[in-house]
Structure 1
């Protein structure tokens, strides 16, 4: 029997008019209802309802095993990545599942002519009256009204299905679920206030403690000059939403810091659902400018591919709360209708819907499977686990797994608020519970992506000295506090590839804070972090005092937004070497990185404050501030070149 977790408030009884027969069992039940939801009355029996039956996906229980089989260097199948067709067919519902559910519906009077099914068999849908649906599921539906947002919906307390087909059904909508409260958030990094800087010597390493230039980055991580010839099939993918680069800013950066990159060099466009770029210089986005100005000096003459996602309305954080789903749709056509964890396709509450109803919006259909994923993708956006329902995040996390199966390396910025979230997220200090519980970031806690934290060259230090975890108090130099995001998930457990490293951290460098075990125990006994959660970040790179141009001006900028394109660019350079040697892409990086921590520069100084605490501390080996450390290009190249 599948029973949903408690949500909060009052319960209702199933109508005596729809009592289950002996072969029916409860499939989902809501035990309580949040007090903000008001039950306003039963639905009219003639009211039309669109029913969606999410079919049980095949092999989800083996997904992690599949990923490790092609990602772990000790596996005989390392690097033998799957095709998109293999991925779609492996996880699609079985023919047995489809046939069983259709047979049940036909027998209950829902003819095949009324049934529609998605291309990849994720769900079966049909229109019916409320009376038909209540009879089919032996339940009664009610209208609900959200006193806070004004949202209206229909739902039931519990519903029943025949026990013989229960294994074939994941969930049914409308069902027991009432949408959670909408939590607006910042979707962009960096969130630091730009700080004007003096003139910087582009080639000197003497001032890297004041401003990080491409020369400083190359020296820090021993990055050699790029080869003059590159593969046409190895463009570095960069995700953007809302923020648009300015060609004028790129040209100013090239002219001042990288004269070997020709003026007018620009990313290849892969515009998704109405995304556009570049922007006029006065409208330039700091995030997008920063990504390209950090990546180009490392990868050029390799190209960059810009995944500019969503039109100007949905690109704004005030329009929707979700992120990444329309981007993932464009990379994988099956994801548009993929069902998992009670979520089927994009979520109309959180994600953009196309055609866009807003004047001037994108009027085309949702783009599904339009672009082939690049070998490496850099993402400097995100939010907090608290922002979105777990089912939304888990379905998305599975898609990152599927990209790894196909050979794509996904690197994501770990956040800029230390162990907290942005100010005002849940609490005024961005923390959970009573304001003392640490707030993990999303999608960073997903175990199938590589998280990148931030480091800094502190005043008086040089590129020859070990870096430290980044920490800038409020006003020094940015308006808001900046610390490398890190901690432990409340949704996902510790993955096998990380287990030994996390265990060693707890054994030898145990944090002094009380902890809880599992999300259901959050805050119990004063605990401020989940001892059983997936730890992040995995790695780090420099993310402070970055010299850049935006809106035609020279600035210093900071954020894990800077760390991510740096590390992603290095990985893309290594993929280039592998391709030249007749080898393939790298896919999911973490299993190899955790087996080869010696190939990274261990960071052992600094913390990531937040929630009224000093946060976690760096330590020898992995830590939840800077992960395994920063890149050492020669060592990483040696590790990956010696793999099949």
Structure 2
């Protein structure tokens, strides 16, 4: 798998010797301690090709961030005045001096303009080069690394350097020090007979929540269906329009894909009107690299909650944490992306270099400033203009409570990856990005927090101002010294919101099964955001865009506060669900009827 033909690299070899490479003293740009679990397997073959991505500094990101918060603040006069794609790109375009300096550096190594792919804003460059040339350019040495647990192999280095005269013109280069293993956020598939549980519940009286006053079918405590979600979240009877320009999207990675036949079975089971018109989805392959290795039943959820009247787009990307960058590039270049997006993939924040995490987070800010919205998951995560089906961020990722994602508490390490081997709660990325909406998990009715709901505080991102009041209130209620040193109380807090996350009835290979995880919470919540967009579009209002400033202010009363449950991990009971925001379920779960009134 490491061998490339001589013919394929000959043009680069000729060019590299045809031009003198830039002779300038190098300085270390980034270095990391080899992460726990990774060991050197051997030297990287010199002719192995690497798809190198180079980030140039974004010239006016601070101004873009200001725009984002102004247009997302319901108290601001500019609320809802999203920027155009071109206006966003102007704000993040690199300075001409950076472009010229990096072009000259690449040219000195025989890399010409036709060898370079550039993002729409020109702030990211991509080149495909062999190891021997990358090592020369970055004054480093690559190795093949093997992961002890997964058995995965990757080609990486633990440090790289750049000529001093371009050091400030390059923000980061990857893959270099990136050892993260992009993963599904712990979805679980239970081989249960949902039919039996439904039959048993048919003879039970409806269940009422004395706090919300809502009543749902007893079967919803054993099997979650579209009808259950409509009942639990007060959306019974709402009908979206097919003619207001609404849309929803789901991102998929790691070979997961939706199955059209299973989708039809699902519709026949729960949404007969959709089955009758053979409703389906649009599929887009990002970077042309789709592998059919499995199925992801989550991919149906946003669609069915939003109903078959709203166009659904499924977009797949590659198979590592770097896929997130490819996906962002694609979405940022798209002339008409979905208005809400869900994702359910991510990794422990500490396995992603801080420089990459912050730059990827900036990409979510770009999306939020434009005309659409997105979710991701971290325990759940969500982004807006809005994102992903198994994510910890602008929708959510699924984690093992406050732990490192290992569902077995006995084997959770919760050890830092910085060489100091400190015990610490492990936040997830991209859920920890402040420009996405992270979604946590609940279970049963009346609702309570589910134990595997991720939650906690970022070590990379400071707490955004929109969270200050809600999160400080939570911290003030913690007994003094609780988990001292195990989390960063000043970090961006997750999750933001929550939704049902277990006992979902879906179809796989034509058979009904039960599935669970915050990989279900994220697309479920995204579906209701899509309905909120529908309500706004019907009134001639713009789509919601970046959600968090709205949720933590004028829309806060539109959530059902979850006060029961906790998210154990790292040998602790984790955080408790409590009155107000908490690090298990965030602000709570949506009351759609209330939210519609608040946002329209």
Query: TM-score band, normalised by the shorter chain?
Result: 0.7 to 0.9
- The alpha-carbon deviation at position 468 of structure 1 amounts to 0.8
Structure 1 pair 192–416 and aligned structure 2 pair: CA distance change class (3 A): farther
User: Does the 8 Å contact 1:291/1:561 carry over to 2?
Assistant: no
Whether the 8 Å CA contact 1:469–1:606 is kept in 2: the answer is: yes
Give the aligned partner of residue 196 of structure 1.
193
Q: Does residue 469 of structure 1 match 2:449? A: yes
CA gap of 1:85–1:570, structure 2 versus 1, over 3 A, is same
> Does the CA-based 8 Å contact 1:267-1:303 persist in structure 2?
no
2 CA distance for matches of 1:427 and 1:308? 36
Matches within 5 A, 1:209-608: 209-227=221-239, 229-231=241-243, 233-241=245-253, 242-263=255-276, 265-273=278-286, 274=288, 285=295, 287-288=296-297, 290-292=298-300, 294-310=301-317, 314=318, 320-333=320-333, 369=334, 372-413=336-377, 414=380, 415-423=398-406, 428-429=411-412, 431-433=414-416, 436-457=423-444, 466-471=446-451, 483-510=452-479, 513-515=482-484, 527-595=485-553, 596-608=555-567
For the structure 1 residues 425 and 266, does the alpha-carbon distance in structure 2 shift closer, same or farther, using more than 3 Å as the test? farther
Bigger CA radius of gyration: 1
Residues 101/468 of structure 1: CA separation in 2 closer, same or farther (3 Å cut): closer
Q: Which stretch of structure 1 is more off in the superposition, 226-235 or 589-598?
A: 226-235
Distance 1:141 1:195, change over 3 A: same
2:94 alignment partner in structure 1 = 93
Contact 2:262 2:507 in 1 (8 A): yes
User: Which deviates more from structure 2 when the two are superposed, residues 624-633 or residues 88-97?
Assistant: 88-97
Q: Do structure 1's residue 629 and structure 2's residue 598 form an aligned pair?
A: no
Task: Give unmatched runs, 5+ long, in structure 2.
Answer: 1-22, 148-152, 207-215, 381-397
Q: 2 CA distance for matches of 1:299 and 1:127?
A: 41
TM-score of the aligned structures, taking structure 2 as reference length: 0.75
Cα deviation digits, residues 432-463 of structure 1 (max 9, x gap)? 246952211121111111111111115xxxxx
- Give the 3 Å change call, closer, same or farther, for CA 448–127 of structure 1 in structure 2: closer
Point out the structure with the larger helix share.
Answer: 2
For structure 1, which runs of at least 5 residues remain unmatched after alignment? 1-19, 44-48, 334-368, 459-465, 472-482, 516-526
Match runs of 1:65-76 below 5 Å: 65-76=66-77
Judged with a 3 Å threshold, the aligned counterparts in structure 2 of structure 1 residues 640 and 36 are, in CA distance, closer, same or farther, namely same
| Distance change >3 Å, CA 424–CA 602, structure 1 → 2 | closer
Cα RMSD for the two superposed structures: 4.4
Q: State the Cα distance separating 1:90 from its structure 2 match.
A: 1.1
| Alpha-carbon separation, structure 1, partners of 2:220 and 2:480 | 32
State the number of aligned residues: 528
Q: Distance in 2 between matches of 1:233 and 1:206?
A: 36
Paired residue secondary structure (1:619)? coil
C-alpha separation in 2, matches of 1:147 and 1:215: 48
Does the aligned pair in 2 maintain the 1:195–1:557 contact within 8 Å? no
SS of equivalent to 1:324: helix
